[in-house]
Structure 1
């Protein structure tokens, strides 16, 4: 055997070649001719007997000897000489020798020439020559391919390298180390797809455990999780018959890798189908596979998936789990099969169901049922909270109390007036309650005073005893709270007891149920009777209801108020008769005579003995477990009903909000109409005042100006009279406007503001009535329609400021350039000093001043008078809008809020109706888990479930 060493990426890999072709023996070593050709050791055939002579000399002598023959054949000698030159790195001489080779060695010589080019660094020449070699010799073809593979790596031709090595594996996979070379290359390049493909294919082809372990290595490194699970099924199927331990290891590795991937369900279907078709049994001891089935099953039924997604998956999963389960899972998987089959009949084959029934009846349960049930309860509560189904604090509190196995729960109830609270006070040693209780109260021993109020929505610690008394005095919604009262209670500490006192049961059947729904918390029930009227028909009715709700809870009686009986003989008679009636109704019940007025020490001693006698501590854990199962079932039923209630609430909320939106829109439109009406009324009122003042000014100003004609005298200087008159006219206009018009205008504006206030008050009154109607719809003071009366203050301030003083800008009454004035002024300047013309001009001027209409100056005066009021007038509409702004905003926001709530609720309803299983399926799966635990409990403990 000859050994060839290949250097790949710094790693020396051995290649072993052994062919059935021609074999030669050289120096005692067996070697094939192909092995010599591969190693370029063909020349050794010539020097086998001349080991101490230089090979080149030996071959030279052989060459000369061959030349002496008549028909010399120098091909093999030249081939061998080329090898010697190659080994001595005389590549040119080697190529020269190999170029003249013909016959059987020709293709090997061409391959060697390519090798020489490769070694010389002429990679392109080498590649071309390698590619030109066409042969049917599988060994030569493989060797050429391997050389091309190395060359492509050196030239950085990654795709070509991958292609040639894959083709080589397909062509000759058993060629020594070819798959190892490929694997090393793929791993070095981090080409995991090809590496995984190689490992899987080789594992299936060769059945080599090493290759299966290589696959498992890739899986554990999370390199395979993006591949379709079906890719590995055939491989692990074949591994099962080779090595069951390795089969389990690879299967669980794949299981773990797919767990958080989108293809997880595909993997579960594929592996279930595979396992279903394998001859597996519980004797194979597949510990890890059983554990993975356990974890997978419980993760599938935790409420995150729909039944539709599981109905074709879980039956096969459970079937396979039962077939391969290990002892610690036997009861659990059997219970799982039976519970699934109960809710989904015929989904699991009857042979598997029968097998599960036999196993669960024959196997001792090693399951911590309490822990499992608590886990289920927590899962349900977590789901309920995540799906807006409430905090369910009452249930959480009750389960927490059930888990306190060191404390015996004594449930104290009876009709109102029986003296329950007085009895509780007497044994607690102080006046805890000074009035009948209205809520369920648990009294527990504790080192410190702690008082908690538990509602379904929250847990609140009450500040002190006073707050506790306030809660006890409350009657409205009192049953919505549970009170837990903790402080040092020696009697409770000694007896390891917790007292649960209920409100009186003098109510209707449904009202009593609100109290008695907590009766399952009791380990023992103590029914308090009034010795003056014991064991009445009403009390029998209440007891019947209690027995119906909790048939397994022992009931005993306290005959209270015995001190009120007239004498001892009568007391004994009443006690005996009452006890006789009770035991004919409840034969196992005991009766204890009690009075809070008797000597307390002796009473407590006797009471302790009585309580010890009625405390049944046998199988307390099993009984509490049964109660826990009851609460889980109750929770599931409540949540199913709550889902219906939620849908109805959403529908009602949509309807109510639509009605609210309709009424709000009506109110908004009415408000806008009112706003428009007020804008119209108030602005019209203002403009009426303005028009009145305008008319007055229009009538008065011309008269004032005309009356100025009296100032024109015959001796007036007509050349300057127009200037003097213009001054006087402006003064008279200023006095008129400031002293007459402005005060009148001010008064009118104040009256207008008063009338506007009345308008605003009417508007506010209208809005208040509207808000009252809307708030009655809301049931609270939700809509506030307070208008902005500051607008009136702003108007007062603005009108005061604008009417406090007025300065008229001078008006050019007689200084304008009208034709008449121009002629009079010109004439006055020309002829004013001439007496013969003065009388005529005087008459003309006076007549002109007296008879002019003064329309233009009047308009100017009006314009200048109202100029400062223009901005005020223009802002009136804006101010009135500001007055109504807040109510408008409030109504608009309320509409948007209701519309938003409608959209949200409709979206939830759509999802609920489109996907009703979103709520139903998780609860159904929780019920599967519940039945499973009930099966396990029955198998392990013989405990009866409570329904």
Structure 2
């Protein structure tokens, strides 16, 4: 054991003094040595004191240990201080321990490491995690080989979820020790997603080192990083750049059996061609990726890599170096064909459809429908064609077991398929339309781009899992490309020969072109029996057919024959030539053809898209202007209707008020008729006041109030007419706007509930009106005071009765009671103030829904116009945003075409 090891474990006393002699207790032995040393002339007790302190420490006598270590002043002094700090630590005097640890100065790596570890533990006890973090990092920096210090640090970082520190430690230790376990620890961190904060270039040095340590570990690290970086689109391209530079390094072996990297490069190739990237981003990246893929791929994977190289070179000539292209050609010539690519073709089609859909691009629905049909391997389609319309139609009658058909002989292709529900659909470049009546069919029957799909109960088709496409005879020879498109939708061609001249030169030449274009498509023949057609002629015809089409079958039929027998014969023919699943290689080739058609359509569509966007923006802006104008007009209408209806209410109110102000003073004055010369003028003012209020109340209850209710009904009727006129105008607006929108989008319906609310309020007002009595003659005006005081003074004197009578009568008849009339009018109308004040709010509620609909529609068209404007601006300023993804789709298509047609006996015909 090294002396520093004994100092660390506090066993210096055993190494220095006891030397394994444990018969006596160390305290006794060291005590005897102490006494012996003390007796010397030149004694040095420091070493024995140091050793005694260790023994006291091990026996938990920490104070005695500290006492011994305080007096050490030789080379052991730093260790003595450290031991003193350990003792204070054990005594839980942590601050003192920390101060002592920090005061120690030494050149010893071991002691400095021990101090750092002790401070690390001390800080953990105090939950000082930042200080603990610094101490464990110090320990690793000072002496990384010391007693599992790196493992302790890594465990601490993991527990604290300090993944950056843990990852950095793993990288440094892997580089320092080249130990596989540290590379594996780094791999675990990557797989668990703990390296997300590190950029793609961060691990390049350690990857170079990993391949020198263990190629399998290198591949695992590359795979883990590849998977993580592909999840972050912004990092993925940079990672591909770094990764391919590493893989193309000469030190990376090409003959190693790579398990995951070739497949990752294949997936990345697809991802880069998914429409999310521009060519400018891939120009420098793709060649290296393809070269690395070629380098690492085995025989099967090399086929995909080679076809990817050739496809990229086909579409972007000059991007690949000639040496790599030649290597790809050589690799491809030595490999066998791959499995059919129908799933990959379908995935590519969906990628294109998804990309186009996200940009509101119009794909040919007929092409999309054809692609979907081609992926269905549970059913087949047979196209039936021929120059003779009658013979072709009679054969289809036989096949469908129907004497007639509504659409047989149609000028456009018709597909008959079995189904429980009878349905007729038109599939065209504009979409799929269900046709419900013959007049609609007449509109579509001359569409050159259309296919009619007719579904009904067809037992023969059901039994053979087959649909039949009848191709019109008119332009079969003159428009062969159109015909070829429909052949590519089919699994076989049944050609009905012209019985007048069966398998003529014209028919033969035409079918040879079909075979040249679509070599995998089976061609079989149908011939109507004729009395003049002898057995010898049939044999000769069969020989001529097999000379050009050796695998073709020939079936005959007779319009006048036994349908049951002929159906049986046709069933046998189907079993002989169409048993089993459809030809997947044929389906794949046809899918690739339609995908190429979609790509071509997209490339041609850019100018049309820009024009459509411009028109759409103009249309949206016109609609937006109309909608905003409608909102402003509606504000004017609301204001106008509010004013009109308020004025109407004010008019009836003013008229009633005028009547009140005119009538009430008269009623008050007429109340003087109750005066008599013999009246008690001491209290007559009370009787007069009572009479006046009584007459006013009767007038209000039985004249004014009924008049008001009647006028209110008239006002409600008037308001209803006004509001109906507004609703009619809004209906005209919605019809006009819906015509412009091309859909029944707007419904500007007002809330007529307010009329019901007004009517309800009017109904509530039909009861008795309560109006407080007025103190008409009890007010303290000078004349009234005079009358009342005079009444008290003279009322008892009979000679003065006449005077008082005349004075009262004169006072009442000449007094101005306008103020009283105003007060009564105010009280009367106060009961109806809520109705009057609510008119603006109610009319606002009436128009609330039309406002909301118009504003929401305006927001929609504003957003749509803004979106289309931004898209148009981007297309004009960045034409690559449209062109590049389509060209990259073409690379993927071209690769599958290379894969599909790589066999020497197959001809690339697209």
* TM-score for both structures, normalised by structure 2: 0.73
Deviations 1:665-686 (A, max 9, x none): 3233333333333333343344
Task: Determine the structure 2 residue equivalent to 1:769.
Answer: 732
Task: Determine the structure 1 residue equivalent to 2:588.
Answer: 625
More divergent stretch after superposition (352-361 vs 901-910): 901-910
Task: Determine the structure 2 residue equivalent to 1:19.
Answer: none
Taking a change above 3 Å as real, the CA distance of residues 41 and 118 of structure 1, as seen in their structure-2 partners, is farther
Aligned pairs for 1:385-464 (under 5 A) are 398-399=370-371, 401-403=373-375, 409-413=381-385, 418=390, 423-430=395-402, 433-436=405-408, 442=415, 449=420
**Aligned match of 1:520 in 464, 473, 488?**
488
Aligned pairs for 1:336-347 (under 5 A) are 336-347=308-319
Report the CA distance between 1:316 and its aligned residue: 0.8
Pair 1:784-2:747 in alignment: yes
Task: Determine the structure 2 residue equivalent to 1:363.
Answer: 335
Taking a change above 3 Å as real, the CA distance of residues 617 and 946 of structure 1, as seen in their structure-2 partners, is farther
Task: Determine the structure 2 residue equivalent to 1:274.
Answer: 246
Task: Determine the structure 2 residue equivalent to 1:668.
Answer: 631
Taking a change above 3 Å as real, the CA distance of residues 350 and 546 of structure 1, as seen in their structure-2 partners, is closer
Deviations 1:747-772 (A, max 9, x none): 55555554444434433443333333
**Aligned match of 1:163 in 138, 159, 164?**
138
- Mapped contact 1:441–1:500 kept (Cα < 8 A): yes
Taking a change above 3 Å as real, the CA distance of residues 214 and 118 of structure 1, as seen in their structure-2 partners, is same
Task: Determine the structure 1 residue equivalent to 2:61.
Answer: none
**SS where residue 289 of structure 2 aligns?**
helix
- Mapped contact 1:450–1:461 kept (Cα < 8 A): no
Deviations 1:419-468 (A, max 9, x none): 866643422334694455799665567xx9577888999xx999xxxx99
- Mapped contact 2:709–2:762 kept (Cα < 8 A): yes
Pair 1:499-2:468 in alignment: yes
More divergent stretch after superposition (512-521 vs 159-168): 512-521
Task: Determine the structure 1 residue equivalent to 2:348.
Answer: 376
Task: Determine the structure 2 residue equivalent to 1:308.
Answer: 280
Q: Distance in 2 between matches of 1:213 and 1:857?
A: 104
- Mapped contact 1:114–1:127 kept (Cα < 8 A): no
- Which runs of no fewer than 5 residues in structure 2 stay unpaired? 22-27, 59-63, 91-95, 124-131
**Aligned match of 2:854 in 891, 900, 913?**
891
- Mapped contact 2:414–2:453 kept (Cα < 8 A): yes
Higher Rg: 1
Taking a change above 3 Å as real, the CA distance of residues 128 and 855 of structure 1, as seen in their structure-2 partners, is closer
- Mapped contact 2:417–2:456 kept (Cα < 8 A): yes
Deviations 1:202-245 (A, max 9, x none): 76677777876776677677766655555554455456567656
Task: Determine the structure 2 residue equivalent to 1:681.
Answer: 644
Pair 1:353-2:328 in alignment: no
Deviations 1:115-160 (A, max 9, x none): 987998899999989998878xxxxx55655665666667667645
- Mapped contact 2:113–2:142 kept (Cα < 8 A): no
Taking a change above 3 Å as real, the CA distance of residues 594 and 4 of structure 1, as seen in their structure-2 partners, is farther
Q: Distance in 2 between matches of 1:821 and 1:559?
A: 129
**SS where residue 944 of structure 1 aligns?**
coil
Taking a change above 3 Å as real, the CA distance of residues 892 and 168 of structure 1, as seen in their structure-2 partners, is closer
**Aligned match of 1:929 in 892, 901, 904?**
892
Task: Determine the structure 2 residue equivalent to 1:318.
Answer: 290
Q: CA RMSD in A?
A: 6.1
**SS where residue 278 of structure 1 aligns?**
coil
Q: Distance in 2 between matches of 1:529 and 1:593?
A: 10
Deviations 1:158-212 (A, max 9, x none): 645643553446xxxxxxxx46744444445457877776776676677777876
Task: Determine the structure 1 residue equivalent to 2:622.
Answer: 659
Aligned pairs for 1:134-173 (under 5 A) are 141=108, 159-160=134-135, 162-163=137-138, 166-168=141-143
**SS where residue 469 of structure 2 aligns?**
strand
Task: Determine the structure 1 residue equivalent to 2:784.
Answer: 821
Report the CA distance between 1:330 and its aligned residue: 2.0
- Mapped contact 1:444–1:486 kept (Cα < 8 A): yes
- Mapped contact 2:380–2:582 kept (Cα < 8 A): no
- Mapped contact 2:140–2:150 kept (Cα < 8 A): no
Taking a change above 3 Å as real, the CA distance of residues 117 and 639 of structure 1, as seen in their structure-2 partners, is same
- Mapped contact 1:282–1:326 kept (Cα < 8 A): no
- Mapped contact 1:788–1:882 kept (Cα < 8 A): yes
Aligned pairs for 1:718-797 (under 5 A) are 718-737=681-700, 741=704, 748-789=711-752, 791-792=754-755, 795=758
Task: Determine the structure 2 residue equivalent to 1:17.
Answer: none
**SS where residue 521 of structure 1 aligns?**
coil
- Mapped contact 2:407–2:414 kept (Cα < 8 A): no
Report the CA distance between 1:341 and its aligned residue: 2.0
- Mapped contact 2:520–2:586 kept (Cα < 8 A): no
Taking a change above 3 Å as real, the CA distance of residues 826 and 916 of structure 1, as seen in their structure-2 partners, is same
Q: Distance in 1 between matches of 2:381 and 2:614?
A: 42
Taking a change above 3 Å as real, the CA distance of residues 158 and 505 of structure 1, as seen in their structure-2 partners, is same
Taking a change above 3 Å as real, the CA distance of residues 714 and 414 of structure 1, as seen in their structure-2 partners, is farther
More divergent stretch after superposition (433-442 vs 265-274): 433-442
Report the CA distance between 1:253 and its aligned residue: 5.6
Taking a change above 3 Å as real, the CA distance of residues 112 and 930 of structure 1, as seen in their structure-2 partners, is same
Task: Determine the structure 2 residue equivalent to 1:31.
Answer: none
Report the CA distance between 1:832 and its aligned residue: 3.2
Report the CA distance between 1:719 and its aligned residue: 3.8
- Mapped contact 1:452–1:461 kept (Cα < 8 A): no
**SS where residue 940 of structure 1 aligns?**
coil
Deviations 1:97-122 (A, max 9, x none): 9x999xxxx86x77887898799889
Deviations 1:712-748 (A, max 9, x none): 4444444444444444444444455555555555555
More divergent stretch after superposition (345-354 vs 427-436): 427-436
- Mapped contact 1:410–1:526 kept (Cα < 8 A): yes
Aligned pairs for 1:573-584 (under 5 A) are none
- Mapped contact 1:440–1:482 kept (Cα < 8 A): yes
Report the CA distance between 1:360 and its aligned residue: 1.5
Q: Distance in 1 between matches of 2:52 and 2:824?
A: 128
- Mapped contact 2:337–2:899 kept (Cα < 8 A): yes
- Mapped contact 1:316–1:348 kept (Cα < 8 A): no
Aligned pairs for 1:871-910 (under 5 A) are 871-906=834-869
- Mapped contact 2:426–2:435 kept (Cα < 8 A): no
- Mapped contact 2:383–2:487 kept (Cα < 8 A): yes
- Mapped contact 1:272–1:320 kept (Cα < 8 A): yes
**SS where residue 411 of structure 1 aligns?**
strand
Taking a change above 3 Å as real, the CA distance of residues 739 and 791 of structure 1, as seen in their structure-2 partners, is same
State the number of aligned residues: 862
Report the CA distance between 1:335 and its aligned residue: 1.0
* TM-score for both structures, normalised by structure 1: 0.71
More divergent stretch after superposition (538-547 vs 358-367): 538-547
- Mapped contact 1:626–1:943 kept (Cα < 8 A): no
Task: Determine the structure 2 residue equivalent to 1:24.
Answer: none
Task: Determine the structure 2 residue equivalent to 1:600.
Answer: 563
Report the CA distance between 1:380 and its aligned residue: 3.9
Q: Distance in 2 between matches of 1:127 and 1:836?
A: 126
Q: Distance in 2 between matches of 1:927 and 1:285?
A: 31
Q: Distance in 2 between matches of 1:662 and 1:823?
A: 76
Q: Distance in 2 between matches of 1:834 and 1:391?
A: 116
**SS where residue 250 of structure 2 aligns?**
coil
Report the CA distance between 1:268 and its aligned residue: 3.1
- Mapped contact 1:749–1:799 kept (Cα < 8 A): yes
Task: Determine the structure 1 residue equivalent to 2:804.
Answer: 841
Task: Determine the structure 1 residue equivalent to 2:815.
Answer: 852
